[in-house]
């Protein structure tokens, strides 16, 4: 990794770093799908206590998705050059 000035054309600066909200959105979506499928599999195999834990984790991931999307929407309003993975 090169140490020195930021390459020309790179997004983000030292004072205003590039946002990681898109990465957080992808990871929260993966967590939601994975935990929901795990909860369904655990219910199907007869482990309701573990299924409840997985369902709670899926609900936390869903809330995280909503919070991230609200932050992305607020950031899009304040910024004119929208570089986003999801538009």
Indicate the domain borders of the chain: 21-76
Residue 76 has pLDDT above 90, yes or no: no
Residue 85 has pLDDT above 70, yes or no: no
Note the pTM of the prediction, 2 decimals: 0.70
Q: Please state at what angle helix 48-78 crosses helix 21-45, rounded to 10 degrees.
A: 160
| 3 or 73, which is more confident | 73
Q: Which helix (H) or strand (E) holds 15?
A: none
Which residues does 38 contact at the CB level (< 8 Å), separation at least 6? 54
Q: Where would I find the H helices in the chain?
A: 21-45, 48-78
- In this structure, what token pair is assigned to residue 84? 């986003």
Residue 70 has pLDDT above 80, yes or no: yes
CA distances from 5 to 8, 19, 20 (A): 9, 19, 21
Q: What is d(CA 11, CA 81) in angstroms, rounded to the nearest whole number?
A: 10
């Amino acid at each position: 990794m090169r140490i020195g000035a930021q390459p020309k054309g790179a997004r983000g600066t030292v004072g205003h770093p590039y946002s990681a909200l898109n990465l957080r959105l992808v990871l929260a979506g993966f967590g939601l799908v994975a935990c929901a499928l795990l909860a369904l599999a655990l219910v199907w195999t007869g482990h309701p206590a573990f299924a409840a834990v997985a369902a709670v984790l899926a609900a936390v991931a869903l809330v995280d998705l909503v919070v991230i999307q609200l932050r992305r929407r607020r950031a899009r309003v304040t910024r004119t050059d929208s570089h986003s993975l999801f538009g």
